Structure formats: structure tokens, C-alpha cells
Amino acid sequence: MRLHGNLIKRLSLAMICLGCVSGARLRADMVTYSTPIPATDAAGHSSLPTSTSFTLPEFNPVFGTLESIAIKFALTYQGEVDIVNISGSPQTATAASSSVPIVITAPSPGVPTLSASYSVTNVPLTASPPLNEFPGGVSNTTIPFNPTPAQFALYEGVGNSSYQLTYSPGTYSGSTTAPGGTVFFGGDANSSGDASVVYTYQTPEPASAMLLATGFVAIGGLRLRRGRRSAVRQHDAIA
């Protein structure tokens, strides 16, 4: 019986060792989530900053050990020059420009700022209505963002991580032949898009996990059997 127990113990230890060695070969898996970024229009001549928010699911640690995070913000955006003419008569703007920063805030810092800019020269201005809008071309940009391992904890959990897109106060300038104090320059920006996150994580190979589990269960059973035998011997000795 003792020889049988030693054999089981050796086989169990071998399974554990094999499981540990093969466990060094981890399997990489990925999970991807995406969400739309709400369309937002910020009128720079009247109301900045303007913000919108959105969320992405966090990484659930039960999946495995997080290895990398790759976030992408795909934006379609447009800049605009806004000129207010209250002179009472048609005028001509000889130069005008606006630049409105689009800032994305993530749970951890590091996302770059995008600027929606547009310029116009020698454009006619009407006095009624006083607001003259000059939209620029539509642009598409993908902003990549890869949080560092030190920041992974901010993206782990069973809920959602929050993000914010903000149009910050921009720069506006221009000149015209109109009387001073009758033409004012501003800017506008709008955007929409999608956000996505790819979590890459590692899990042990199924065969490795099975070897480890089987080895530990076998050793546990062997120790339990020995414990029962010891208890029986103590009982017989007392009797």
C-alpha cells in the first residue's frame, strides 16, 4: 500500500511539474468592444467649452491576465469660420480663421488633441442675417491610444470606463474693411465617429490547466487517505 501511495505521489508531482512547464506557453486571446461617439456641434462664437461623453466596457479579469490595451477614436470632423456683421450693410472680410481644439479625455492621460481649423480670405459678408458661416472641408482622422501597463487597473472591472470629448475655447481672428466694432470673428466645429477598444490577454493552455488540477487533486486525495489511516491507527491504539 505504501508503494502504491508513493507511486501516486510521484505521478501527481510529475503532472504538476508538466503543468507548470507547459503553463509557460500561455495562449493569447482578444476581446473587442466598440461604441458610437455622439455627434456634437460646438458654436465657438457663443458657447465653449461644449462636451459629450461615451463609455466602453472594461476588461473583466476573469478572462485572464491583461497584456495590452489598444483604443482607437475614429472621428469625422469639420471646422468653420463664423463672422458676425452688424455694420448694417454688406461688407468684405479680407482674412479670417478659426481653430477649435477637440480634446478626448480617457480614464488615463495621454490622448492627443485634435484641432478643427478653417480659414477664408476675401469673402463677401451679408448684414442680414448678421451671422455668416463658412464651413471647411470634412476630415477623417483615427487617433490611436495605448494605455501603459501601469494604467491597466483603470480599465479593469465589470462595468464601463468613461470618456469625454470636449471642444475647448479656440482661437479666432480676421480683418475687414468695415467700420471698427461692427464685425466679429468666431469659429465652429463639429464631429462624430466611433470608439473601439481591443483587450489582449493571456490564459493558460487547457491541457496545462488540466494537468495542474489533476495533480493537485490527486495529492489532496492521497493526503486525505493518509489522514484517515492515521486517525484509525490512533483510535485502535486508544482502544
pLDDT in tens, 203-216: 986 654 454 445 44
Q: Where on the phi/psi map is residue 122: left (φ > 0), alpha (ψ -120 to 50), or beta?
A: left
Residue 14: predicted pLDDT: 46
CA dihedral sign, ordered 33, 39, 45, 50: negative
Whole-model pTM: value is: 0.72
Indicate whether 214 and 144 sit together in one domain: no
Indicate whether 39 and 82 sit together in one domain: yes
**Between vectors from CA 43 to CA 133 and to CA 172, what angle results, nearest 5°?**
70
Q: How many domains does the chain have?
A: 2
Whether pLDDT at 221 is above 80: no
Residue 229: predicted pLDDT: 55
Residue 204: predicted pLDDT: 81
Whether pLDDT at 226 is above 70: no
Indicate whether 61 and 150 sit together in one domain: yes
Indicate whether 85 and 109 sit together in one domain: yes
Indicate whether 130 and 117 sit together in one domain: yes
For the stretch 7-41, pLDDT in tens is 445 544 444 444 444 445 678 899 999 999 999 88
Whether pLDDT at 49 is above 70: yes
Share of the chain above pLDDT 70, in %: 72
Indicate whether 64 and 153 sit together in one domain: yes
Indicate whether 104 and 120 sit together in one domain: yes
Indicate whether 75 and 148 sit together in one domain: yes
Indicate whether 94 and 11 sit together in one domain: no
Cβ neighbours, 10 Å, residue 199: 25
**Between vectors from CA 204 to CA 202 and to CA 207, what angle results, nearest 5°?**
150
Indicate whether 130 and 112 sit together in one domain: yes
Indicate whether 234 and 179 sit together in one domain: no
Instruction: Domain of residue 98: give its range.
Output: 27-203
Indicate whether 52 and 150 sit together in one domain: yes
